[in-house]
């Protein structure tokens, strides 16, 4: 029973990082109906930007994080204005290829600038620090990593902020209106171009936080491939148009892969997310928490 609880805690912590990536992808998909395969590298670039500020310019970590948040928002805005706004007439396949191209460009730039060898991010919380729970759970030695707890807390706070933003702010409601029907939203006086730009900015910001959390464990040019794949799997599982669904899907994937690695095989733990994508697309193509609409002509 103890091993199960320990793996459950580890799965929830992993699911928190996946949830942030899934949220970032769903925010863009709800507006453009395009899966953003550059999401991982949009988180990678700000992570290395923070590393550069700390390592080369010797800025304190918290100041570097604030500047990195601003850089991530700027990056998202520039990608939408310079690249995607010019390609609005492209079909779905063309837009997917564009996001893959952006992924390769950002990855190539980071690899050229910083090299391929792993680096160490001077994160204020060590991945080796832990909180023993012996006093709270009698008879067990349950260990909760300090970084795992921090990741879960930050992800939870950010999820609540995003929910409140879309639910109660005028800009969030305008974003929801644009996501539902751009033509009608434009007719109602909503600046849909600005909404789309801010959608990419918010998505880039959320991904940046996920990237900083991942970089506390490992920092190299390919570090976001696995979280991006798991975030995409979570979005597919919950429904690409459902923000709550992507969060639930992320925690399901995190827990399932942790249990799979503990009870079956650690070598094939990453296969779980791909298996989930295949099964969900075969059984319920719209995901577990999204409605499937059929157009009749």
**CATH number of the CATH domain containing 190:** 1.10.3470
Local confidence band at 74 (pLDDT 50, 70, 90 cut-offs): very high
Local confidence band at 290 (pLDDT 50, 70, 90 cut-offs): low
- Stretch 70-79: mean pLDDT: 96
User: 248 versus 86: which is more confidently predicted?
Assistant: 248
Supply the pLDDT for residue 295: 47
Local confidence band at 71 (pLDDT 50, 70, 90 cut-offs): very high
- Asked if residue 50 belongs to a domain, the reply is yes
- Asked if residue 292 belongs to a domain, the reply is no
Q: Is residue 297 predicted with pLDDT exceeding 50? A: no
- Asked if residue 294 belongs to a domain, the reply is no
Q: What percent of the chain has pLDDT over 70?
A: 93
- Stretch 104-127: mean pLDDT: 91
User: 5 versus 118: which is more confidently predicted?
Assistant: 118
- Asked if residue 288 belongs to a domain, the reply is no
Supply the pLDDT for residue 286: 77
Across the chain, the runs of DSSP E, i.e. the strands, are 130-132, 143-145
**Buried b or exposed e, range 63-96, using 16+ CB within 10 angstroms:** ebbebbbebbbebbbebbeebbeeeeeeeeeebe
Q: Which helix (H) or strand (E) holds 51?
A: helix 39-55
**Buried b or exposed e, range 241-259, using 16+ CB within 10 angstroms:** bbbebbbbbbbbbbbbbbb
- Asked if residue 122 belongs to a domain, the reply is yes
- Asked if residue 176 belongs to a domain, the reply is yes
State which of 30-39, 53-62, 134-143 shows the largest mean pLDDT: 53-62
- Stretch 10-32: mean pLDDT: 89
- Stretch 158-165: mean pLDDT: 91
Tell me the pLDDT tens digit for each residue of 185-211.
888 888 888 999 999 999 999 999 999
Counting the structural domains of the chain, the total is 1
Supply the pLDDT for residue 158: 93
**Average model confidence (pLDDT) across the chain:** 86
Bridge partners of residue 143, in order along the sequence: 132
Q: Is residue 161 predicted with pLDDT exceeding 50? A: yes
Residue 233 contacts residue 35 (beta carbons within 8 Å): no
- Asked if residue 121 belongs to a domain, the reply is yes
pTM of the model: 0.91
Supply the pLDDT for residue 16: 92
Q: Is residue 129 predicted with pLDDT exceeding 90? A: no
Local confidence band at 133 (pLDDT 50, 70, 90 cut-offs): low
Q: How far apart are CA 158 and CA 258, in angstroms?
A: 23
Question: What is the CA 139 to chain-centroid distance, rounded?
Answer: 37
- Domain interval for residue 181: 2-283
- Asked if residue 289 belongs to a domain, the reply is no
């Amino acid at each position: 029973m103890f091993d199960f609880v320990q793996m459950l805690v580890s799965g929830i912590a992993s699911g928190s990082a996946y949830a942030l990536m899934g949220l970032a992808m769903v925010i863009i998909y709800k507006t453009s109906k395009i899966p953003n395969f550059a999401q991982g590298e949009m988180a990678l670039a700000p992570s290395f930007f923070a590393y550069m500020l700390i390592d080369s310019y010797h800025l304190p970590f918290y100041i570097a994080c604030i500047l990195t948040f601003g850089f991530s928002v700027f990056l998202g805005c520039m990608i939408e204005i310079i690249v995607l706004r010019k390609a609005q007439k492209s079909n779905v396949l063309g837009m997917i290829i564009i996001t893959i191209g952006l992924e390769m460009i950002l990855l190539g730039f980071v690899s050229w600038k910083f090299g391929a060898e792993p680096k160490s991010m001077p994160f204020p919380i060590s991945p080796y620090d832990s909180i023993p729970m012996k006093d709270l759970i009698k008879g067990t030695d349950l260990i909760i990593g300090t970084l795992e707890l921090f990741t879960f807390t930050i992800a939870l706070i950010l999820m609540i902020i995003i929910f409140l933003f879309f639910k109660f702010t005028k800009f969030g409601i305008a974003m929801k209106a644009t996501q539902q029907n751009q033509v009608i939203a434009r007719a109602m006086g909503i600046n849909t171009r600005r909404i789309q730009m801010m959608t990419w900015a918010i998505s880039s910001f959320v991904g940046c936080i996920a990237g900083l959390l991942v970089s506390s464990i490992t920092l190299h040019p390919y570090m976001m491939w696995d979280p991006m794949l798991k975030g995409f799997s979570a979005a597919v599982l919950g429904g690409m148009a459902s923000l709550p669904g992507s969060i639930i899907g992320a925690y399901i994937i995190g827990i399932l892969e942790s249990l799979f690695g503990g009870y079956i095989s650690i070598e094939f733990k990453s296969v779980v997310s791909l298996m989930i994508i295949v099964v969900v697309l075969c059984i319920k193509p719209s995901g577990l928490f999204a409605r499937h609409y059929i157009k009749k002509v």
